[in-house]
Amino acid sequence: MSILNLSLQATVIVTLLSAALNARAAAPLVSSQADQHSVALTIYNANLGLVKDRRSIAIPAGSSELRFTDVAAQIIPASVQISSREGGELRILEQNYEYDLLNPQKLMDKYVGKEVRLYQKNPLSEREEEVTATLLANNGQPVYRIGGDITYGHPGRVIFPEVPADLIAKPTLVWLLEGKEPGKRQIEATYLTSGITWRADYILTIGRDNRLGDLAGWVTIDNRSGATYRDARLKLVAGTVNRVSDEQPPGRAYKTMMAEAAAPAPQFREEGFFEYHLYTLQRPSTIKENQTKQINLLTAGGIPLRRDLVIRGDQAWYRGPQGGEDGQKQKVGVYVEFDNRQSHQLGMPLPKGTVRVYQQDSDGSLQFIGEDAIGHTPKDEKVRIKVGEAFDVSATRRQTDWKKLASDTYEAGWEVIIRNHKDEDVTVKVLEPMSGDWKVVDSSLPSSKRDAQTAEFNVPVNKHGEAKLTYRVRVRY
């Protein structure tokens, strides 16, 4: 083989080695939110969100490192998936999640054992003076070596020569990729994140006659996930999604919140999804980091309402004699009820949330009269809200008799006196919860068996009047 051929082969080998080294040492690709083509966000009412972040990124041939920034700080790393939606084939060799975020404490920790500069103002000359120091420790407060002396509590500002390579400004997904051919690709990263949730809030406005009401429903989204989702395709899942309880995603906790004014009323499209319900917003929406946003869910007017006044007993009262000559005073609960039916301007499955109830006073001003939580309510089901306790309706309960008929059988007599100080007649529902094998053997008003452990009496009380309910019950344990 000639010297020329050997020289040519050596040149080719050097060229190939140089190209490989250059490829390995090449700066990583960095993709930010500026590359974002679209983002889809599905929020669960269990402190969980599903993010689908699609970006247009130019990927070279061969191996390359892609740093995918502007992701949620509370991402669940094990849930991350990446796929190439458009373009050539792409292999993922390695995946990392870096969340060692830059802050003053970590910056000081990284410079332990290294030189820094300290600036302080000379109180006499009012000029800044610089001194070079070695940071010896940063446990509680910095300890420096300046010349041959050791000191702490130095008042100077610390100047660092550079940011350490392993500290980053924001959470970043890092992939080692291998592409067969260069070109622009649609890369979609899908991941779960904690720190974002939603709930439903309802406002029920009751008419002056207590017969009809108007209901407005709002979706309240609380985003503390550590990311902003711009012009997101938003979906909400209502239902209980099972999760592994020991999943602890890394990331920072956010303590501040910002409120945003409610957006104009949008239209959600509702559909059944697996064993849950899915609500899709029919327009893009931006969910900012550290933001609470409200979006209109529904509006319904002229809903027929039912109002209940309820007294509820206690199972323990039937297990033994109860003393007290004057009896026991009881508060009367006030409940409002309506049916989630299409004929009542409703009929959409209602996600769980809080219902706040208002009514107009004599001046026409809305006044808050109570609130209650409701669970997920399918269509055609009943919605029942405890508003509060009646002021002008009171009750007193007294045990009038107690007998032990056998070793496991008892009989008790009860008297419930209800006083109505209102300018209208009312009917009070008396619910008596009992355990064991029970039977109402005598009563001054008809009773019904509401369920296996509850007797129900409906007691009419005239305005400014009083009514008395008496009954005897036999219980066997």
Taking only the tens place, the pLDDT of each residue in 251-274 is 433 332 333 333 344 468 888 888
Domain of residue 111, residue span: 104-159
Share of the chain above pLDDT 90, in %: 54
Q: What is the mean pLDDT of the chain?
A: 85
Query: Residue 191: how many CB atoms within 10 A of its CB?
Result: 22
Segment among 80-84, 223-227, 316-320, 341-345 with least mean pLDDT: 316-320
Which amino acid is it at 241?
A: V
Final residue before a domain boundary, out of 159, 191, 225: 159
In a domain, 133, yes or no: yes
Least Cα distance to 133 among 119, 149, 121, 117 occurs for: 117
Report the CATH number that the domain containing residue 409 is assigned in CATH.
2.60.40.1170
Any idea what DSSP says for residue 19? H
pLDDT tens string 220-241: 999 999 999 999 999 999 887 8
With a cut of 50, say whether residue 197 has pLDDT above it: yes
- In DSSP terms, 389 is beta-bridged to 333
**177 contacts 59 by C-beta, under 8 angstroms:** yes
In a domain, 150, yes or no: yes
- Which range, 17-26, 88-97, 337-346, has the best average confidence (pLDDT)? 337-346
**What pLDDT was estimated at residue 265?**
45
Mean pLDDT score, 326-337 = 90
pLDDT tens string 29-40: 999 999 999 999
**What pLDDT was estimated at residue 248?**
47
Q: What is the dihedral of CA 288, 289, 290, 291, to 10 degrees?
A: 10
In a domain, 14, yes or no: no
Final residue before a domain boundary, out of 113, 130, 159: 159
Contacts of 36 (CB under 8 A, 6+ apart): 53, 54, 55, 70, 230
**More reliable by pLDDT, 97 or 404:** 404
Domain count for the chain, please give it.
2
Which amino acid is it at 328?
A: Q
Any idea what DSSP says for residue 317? G
Query: Residue 47: how many CB atoms within 10 A of its CB?
Result: 17
Query: Residue 11: how many CB atoms within 10 A of its CB?
Result: 10
Least Cα distance to 108 among 150, 167, 171 occurs for: 167
In a domain, 280, yes or no: no
